[in-house]
A and B are shown apart, each in its own frame.
Chain A
Amino acid sequence: MDKLASLLHTTPAIVWMVGKVVVVFLSVFLLASVWTWVERRGSAMIQDRIGPNRAKLFGRWPILGLSQLLADGIKFFFKEDLVPEAANKGLFWLAPFLAFVPALMGFAVIPVGKSFVCDGVTYHLSVLDPGNGMGLLYPLAIGGLAVYGVLLAAWSSNNKWSILGGMRASATMVSYEIGISMAVVAIFMTSGGYDPSEVIKAQGHLPWTWYVVRQPLGFLVFFTCMFAETNRLPFDFAEGESEIVAGFNTEYGSMKFSLLALAEYSHLMTASALVATLYFGGWQVPFVADPPVLLSVASFLVKMLFFAWVFVWVRWTLPRFRYDQLMHLGWKIMLPLSMANLVFHAWRMSQGH
């Protein structure tokens, strides 16, 4: 690393930082695009279909339909970029990025593996080192920003269906955020800090000390709210084929549409990373007290991808909720449940547990 740094006329710290940023964000981006394939093939298998399998790389290798990804990407890049006449052009251009960037940014504080020491320097496997003062408040705050992407996309396209979808989605996100925050506060309380490394340390390496076992109610609330937060079925109110044409992305085409779709999947990745970190011990390997770094990274990836798969799995199991049912669930069930969870754990802590 020193050699590379001297070649690039920078310090090792900067090289490490840039490397982390590139690797983490690029891999989340790639995972998100691969997950569109997982979603399509997985849904096909769940519904006894076959899914995309015709596109072939160089007309020869179908590689399980993965080349469909490339074909779609190329298609989106070369499509005409239409902007509606009556749209608010600036916001219309900005919205896909506003949707996409926060979805990726949330990943910055999540440690993907155990920190390690090399030549007396400690390297942390998260983009922002622990002790940055933001901790897990940061992904929650950034997650709140995702509302802007959806709402601006809907509003700027000057389409009634879009705005209906966008309004529904933003109302959903805003109301479910409270449930998320309450559930997470209980975790911060019991682990004694809001830094992800502290949360992970507090969970330990034994599966029954992870927060999913210690706070099952909190996990249930958090996970359910994450579906609303990422705009995934059964709570994907930004969209609605039957009632509002396509939803917030009705007027979008070409790469802007693709970015909006990718934003959803990046959000899904960030959400599943959050679930893995908060409730399933992050990079902790079950029954291994001091795992090697690579094993910890693998453990984190397995957990994250499992939850990303659960997001897909649930999407193809449940139908979309009705809007009033959703609000009922959010305000009258999720919020009281997360409050009860918080009060219960506060009481337990006051009893000296």
Chain B
Amino acid sequence: MGVIVKKVELTWLDRTYVWPVLQGMSITFGHFIRNLFTSTAKRYTVQYPDMKREIPAGYRGLHELKRFEDGAIKCVACFMCQEACPARCISIEAEEFSDLNLSQGFQEKRPAKFSIDMLRCIYCGMCEEACPKDAIWLRKEYEVAAYDRLSMQFGKWNLMNTYAEADGKEQLTQDPTPSVPRRTIAM
């Protein structure tokens, strides 16, 4: 079925072409004047490095590995995120830790290595969805760039410190010695 196109009847004035041109010129001149007296900061364009848009809630940016109050990593190296990752960019090496493991029968795990290849990552957020411990978050940082490929391999300590500065936390370089077991098993 065809669509009936409404035919526009041009008036005599429109047919001269001069009057519509003048109308159009008045519109463009209006824009010109309006922009001339608006400072560049207030125009539509967001001038990126100087101005930044507000990042909406739920934005999936650079990852952070969450930590407890004392600085211990929340991740228990369960490999759920590695399994969920469609880009296969996460690789984890697990280790047992804490003396309590032996003395009190706890089986505590943590990642010895946790690396994300930021060049492969598609920022889909599946790792965040999969994590049972809420230990990995995708937050609002989006300026992830480097001069070489190697520096785009984010290791465990990189990932734990990605938002340390923004949150006002200290930079971590080693796991604190755990004093209290993270996980209590009902005996």
Contact = CB atoms under 8 A, between A and B. Distances in A.
Interface string A29-63: 00000000000001011111110010000000000
A319 B35 CA distance: 21
Contacts, number: 39
Contact of A42 (B24, B32, B40, B44): B32
Interface string A57-79: 00000000000000000000000
B31 interface: yes
Interface size for chain B: under 10, 10 to 19, 20 to 34, or 35 or more residues? 10 to 19
15 contacts: A44-B35, A45-B36, A46-B29, A46-B35, A48-B31, A49-B45, A50-B47, A53-B40, A220-B18, A313-B28, A313-B32, A314-B21, A317-B27, A317-B28, A318-B24
B124 interface: no
Given A53-B40, A220-B18, A47 B31 contact: yes
Interface of B: 18, 21, 24-25, 27-29, 31-32, 35-36, 40, 43-45, 47
Contacts of A93: none
Nearest to A53: B40
Contacts of B32: 42, 45-46, 313
B24 A317 contact: yes
Give the secondary structure class of B's interface. Answer: helix
Interface string A275-312: 00000000000000000000000000000000000000
Contact of A48 (B21, B25, B44): B44
A316 interface: yes
B43 A317 contact: no
Question: By CB atoms of chain A within 10 A, which of B25, B29, B35, B47 has the most?
Answer: B35
Contacts of A317: 21, 24-25, 27-28
A47 B18 CA distance: 22
Given A53-B40, A220-B18, A313-B29, A45 B24 contact: no
Interface string A222-242: 000000000000000000000
B44 to A, nearest CB: 6
